[in-house]
Structure formats: structure tokens, C-alpha cells
DNA sequence: TTAAACCTTAAAGCGCACTTCAAGGCAAGC
DNA sequence: GCTTGCCTTGAAGTGCGCTTTAAGGTTTAA
């Protein structure tokens, strides 16, 4: 499979695939006789893994170190587990921050519906809410 | 409160606070007689709101448009609700992507413990797993 | 044989979100 | 009066993660 096809299959641009290879986020890719990249399923899966971790907010540098450790021949099980757990902790915190922001926006959205209620108390609460609408 | 104190309280650098004001992510800040910023609780809350949304992955530009709409005098309730819902959808998708990546890493972490099991079948499964350790 | 459509590399360019710098002002303490 | 420590502004610089460009090679099809 050429790089164009791999790009289509993964949604990652050809240039980005080359960039990932250069940065060692994916293993060295086999070449055809004339020097063109010949991408197989294994590489595709790696590209998708990189995409997923990038989308999860992992930097190129972290990802490179992470992959380096996992690709190493030596048995780094302990370090690998520690790294996995550290990365998990980072991502879980990120997820929780995101959830907090979602809750915040949901709270604001729910308070829009107050415009439909009419008791005195609710109108006063609404007024207070309106002033601080952004917070 | 001067900008240094506001920076300490929010964990946002003085330069970033100035930048946020320039980009209209926070309202124009009152000045003392000599022209120094005098930051109050309302501004602090805004800075924290901006920080939270930034951490949730919202761009400066999106945030600026969002805040512009919410600060407007006219009653943009419909547009505001639509914007809130759109932003919520983006963030929920982001959260789900993050969760998928977390699940992926957890799966890998759990498979490390297979190194302690010993039945033939499990060893064969482990072998297959080992080859694709990165995926 | 020439154009189209793919590929290669190295290097330069770009947008974002700040950070840092330069040049200067004000207020307090020695 | 001078140093310290805060502040101001505008402009330039920075790091990341690609994208684009330039210059060229190969293959296919008309």
C-alpha cells in the first residue's frame, strides 16, 4: 500500500505519516525497489495508535519516549508498567477536567430553561444568574 | 489586587492575563490612577473560566466568539443555547476519545499481568499479544 | 513524448498560544 | 539619590506539530 492509500485509510496526511516516521513514532517503513514506502497493516495500526494518543493530548515527545521504551528489546516490564500507569493518570486527570468543564456548561444550559418559569423567587434567582452569566 | 497577585491566585502568568484581556477573553480591567490593572473577584472568576475551557481544549478564537455572544446586550438566547450545545458536543466527543485511549492503555496494562499465568493456551495468547504489544 | 499522478528528500513556512524583551514609569526603603 | 520591585506597552521571539515548497524520480496512458 502506498502512502496515499495509507493516508486515506487512516485520515492522517501523507506528510504527517512521513513526519511520524522521522520522529520514530512509527517503525521504519519498508520501501519498494524505487524507494517508495510500502505500508502494511502493522504500520496502519501504529498510525492509528499514534492518532489516538495524540487526540488524547499526548505530546510527540512523550509519545516518542513511550514508544521507544516499548520497542526496546530488553525486558523493561517494570518501567513499561510505570510509564503506562503514569500516562493513564495524566489522561484520567485530563478526562476529569474535561468532565468538569462539561458539567459547567450543562449547568449554564439548564439555567436557560429558567426563562420559562415565573415565580417571584425564581425570577430573582434568574436575575442573579444573569449578572454572572459567564461564571 | 495587582496582576502579580491575580497571577498567584489563578496560576495564570501575568503576561497571559494581559494577553487574555487583549484578546477579549476577559472584560476590560479597571486601572488605578497610575494605569495599573486592579483585578477584582469577577475578573478572577473569568480567568478561571477561561483556564477551564482552555484546559478542555477550546481554542482562543472559539472562546472569544463564545464570550462575545454571551456578553452582548441583545437577547441571543437561541444562539447562546445553540453555541453552548455545540461546544458541549465537541467536548463530549473529546472526552469519549480520551476515554477510548484510557481503555486502550488499561487493556495493555492488564495484559502485563498475563506474564504471571502459565497455562499453554494463555502462553500462546501471550505470544500473540507480545508481537502486537504496541497496538 | 509528453502529461498526469504518484512518489522521494530537505528545508522553509505557518498558526497558535503564549513568553520574553526592551524601554520606561511609579512607590518604598536605605 | 539610588536600588528594588512592582507596573506599563508594543514588538519580537519561541516551541509545537505539522504543512508547504522545491527539485527531482518513476510509472501509466494517450
Which class in CATH covers the domain with range A1-65? mainly alpha
From residue A64, alpha-carbon distances to A8, A40, A82, B56, B99 in Å are 24, 21, 16, 24, 21
* Domain B1-71: assigned CATH number: 1.10.1660.10
For residue range A77-135, list pLDDT tens digits in order. 888 888 888 888 888 988 998 898 888 888 888 876 554 444 444 444 444 444 455 55
Whole-number pLDDT of residue B115: 47
Distance from C-alpha of B24 to C-alpha of B63, rounded to nearest angstrom: 9
Query: Is the C-beta atom of B49 closer than 7 angstroms to strand C?
Result: no
Of the candidates A12, A63, A14, A60, the residue with the CA atom closest to the CA atom of residue A37: A14
What DSSP state is assigned to residue A33?
T
Provide residues 56-75 of A with CB closer than 7 Å to any strand D atom: 59-61
pLDDT reading at A12 higher than 90 = yes
DSSP A79-119: HHHHHHHHHHHHHHHHHHHHHHHHHHHHHHHHHHGGGG---
- Please indicate whether, in this complex, the C-beta atoms of A109 and B67 are within 8 angstroms of each other: no
Residue B3: CB partners within 8 Å, gap ≥ 6?
Answer: B14, B17, B18, B36, B37, B39
Best mutation target among A53, A56, A106 (most B Cβ atoms within 10 Å) is A56
Contacts of A94 in chain B (CB under 8 A): 55, 98
pLDDT in tens, B95-135: 998 998 899 888 888 876 544 444 444 444 544 444 455 55
**Residue B86: closest C-alpha in chain A:** A105
Question: How far is CA A65 from its chain centroid?
Answer: 17
8 Å CB contact between A23 and A67: no
The answer to whether strand D lies under 7 Å from the CB of residue A49 is no
Domain boundaries, chain B: 1-71, 73-135
Closest residue, chain B, to A26 (C-alpha): B134
Among A77, A97, A132, the residue with its CB nearest the CB of B55 is A97
Amino acid at each position: 500500500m502506498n502512502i496515499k492509500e495509507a493516508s486515506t485509510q487512516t485520515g492522517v496526511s501523507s506528510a504527517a505519516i512521513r513526519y511520524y516516521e522521522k520522529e520514530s513514532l512509527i517503525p521504519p517503513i519498508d520501501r519498494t525497489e524505487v524507494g517508495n514506502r510500502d505500508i502494511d497493516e502493522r504500520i496502519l495500526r501504529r498510525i492509528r495508535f499514534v492518532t489516538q494518543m495524540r487526540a488524547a493530548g499526548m505530546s510527540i515527545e512523550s509519545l516518542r519516549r513511550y514508544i521507544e521504551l516499548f520497542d526496546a528489546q530488553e525486558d523493561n516490564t517494570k518501567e513499561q508498567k510505570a510509564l503506562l500507569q503514569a500516562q493513564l493518570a495524566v489522561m484520567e486527570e485530563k478526562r476529569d477536567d474535561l468532565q468538569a468543564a462539561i458539567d459547567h456548561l450543562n449547568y449554564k444550559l439548564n439555567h436557560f430553561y429558567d426563562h420559562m418559569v415565573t415565580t417571584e423567587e425564581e425570577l430573582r434567582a434568574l436575575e442573579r444568574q444573569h449578572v454572572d452569566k459567564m461564571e
